[in-house]
Amino acid sequence: MAAAHTTNAGKMLYALSMHPSELHVVEPGSVVDLGAIDPGRTPGLSGSKEKERASAEAMHAENVVAMRDLQYRLWAEGGRSVLVVLQGMDTAGKDGTIRHVFGALNPQGVRVEGFKQPTSEELAHDYLWRIHRKTPGAGRIVVFNRSHYEDVLVVRVHGLVPEAVWQRRYEEINAFERLLAGSGTTILKVFLHISKDEQKERLQARLDDPAKRWKFSAGDLAERKRWGEYQQAYTEALSRCSTEHAPWFVVPADRKWYRNWAVSSIVRRALEQLDPQPPEAEFDPATVEID
């Protein structure tokens, strides 16, 4: 993008137009007001909706190509790693985001880990036990489809543990993420922010479309009834756990094309900042003879 703006006026425009990483980051220490963030907005884009969509799709496609090269370099470097945490209400688009943003990466270097209701073995341990073993090793990108944040979301909303227990988890999570970050893992946490109306449409689509029906669960309706409690629990998780070493991003997700572009932009930017470098050869290739 930057290269396209070669005139002075263009440079100024580029400096003024904000990147999704800056537009959506939750500043550490700030309190998020989800009610004030319209899930249908499309900041960073301008023009008619059709124009916005076309440019978001084109820039998303560019992001994916760039991510592929960066992933290759991360893998070759073989030291650092990236963890992307995806959270959102049912139908927020976690699966679609994984398909569109990470689907084109080399499967050798990327893994998706989903976290559902804990098994009895998992429940017999601390809540981070099942999480820690799925974090990325050197050179890898791991995407969490739900995460340890469920332990301050569904667990809090349903009172699955006493309040004193979930209250201390925010600090525990921050410490856990600091450990990962200090060990070479770049952490990006994305909340896919949809409206209650949009969820209604997407749930209805799951009912109406036989191909989508398998995704519908009656339990989703029970969770929907607690929408307000979830927004409250999210507000607290996003506010208390957005840190320098593991920032949260609130991505407006009612429009899938906006969501895809925003998330791929955030991931691409983080990979570019890592600027992974393949290790230098420890030998002089000119001296090697292959017979």
Residues near ligand AMP (CB under 6 A) are 115-118, 146, 150-151, 154-155
Comparing CB distances to Mg ion, the nearer of 52 and 90 is 90
Question: Least distance in Å: CB of 151 to ligand AMP?
Answer: 5
| Nearer CB in complex with ligand AMP: 11/196 | 196
Q: Answer for the pair 63, 226: CB distance below 8 angstroms, yes or no.
A: no
Residue 94 one-letter amino acid: K
Conformational region of residue 153, where left means phi above 0, alpha means psi within -120 to 50, and beta covers everything else? alpha
Q: Report the residue number, 46 or 204, with the smaller CB distance to ligand AMP.
A: 204
Answer with the entry of ligand AMP, Mg ion, none that 155 interacts with (C-beta below 5 to 8 A by kind). Answer: ligand AMP
CA distances from 28 to 82, 83, 94, 151, 261 (A): 20, 19, 24, 21, 24
Cβ pair 91, 202 in contact under 8 A:
yes
Report how far residue 253's alpha carbon sits from residue 247's, in angstroms, rounded to the nearest whole number: 18
Contact of 234 with 31, CB cutoff 8 Å: no
The nearest distance, CB 61 to ligand AMP, in angstroms, is: 27
Provide the 3-class DSSP secondary structure of residue 64: helix
Check residue 25 and report its DSSP letter.
B
Residue 62 or 95 with smaller CB distance to ligand AMP: 95
Name the minimum Å distance from CB 89 to ligand AMP: 10
Minimal distance, residue 204 CB to ligand AMP, in Å: 17
Q: Which does 253 bind (CB under 5 to 8 A by kind): ligand AMP, Mg ion, none?
A: none
Map residues 53-92 to x or -, x wherever contact with Mg ion holds by CB under 5 A: -------------------------------------x--
Identity of the residue, 48 or 117, whose beta carbon is nearer to Mg ion in the bound complex: 117
CA distances from 14 to 17, 21, 58, 60, 103 (A): 5, 14, 17, 17, 29
* Contact partner at residue 151 from Mg ion, ligand AMP, none, CB < 5 to 8 Å by partner kind: ligand AMP
Residue 133: contacted member of ligand AMP, Mg ion, none (CB under 5 to 8 Å, by partner type): none
Give me the least distance between CB of 136 and Mg ion, in Å please. Answer: 24
Helices (H), strands (E): how many in the chain? 13, 5
Burial class (CB in 10 A: 0-12, 13-18, 19+), 221: exposed
Residue with Cβ nearer ligand AMP (117 or 120) = 117
The entry of Mg ion, ligand AMP, none near residue 236 (CB within 5 to 8 angstroms by kind) is none
* CA Rg value for the chain: 20
Which residues contact Mg ion (rule: CB under 5 A)?
90
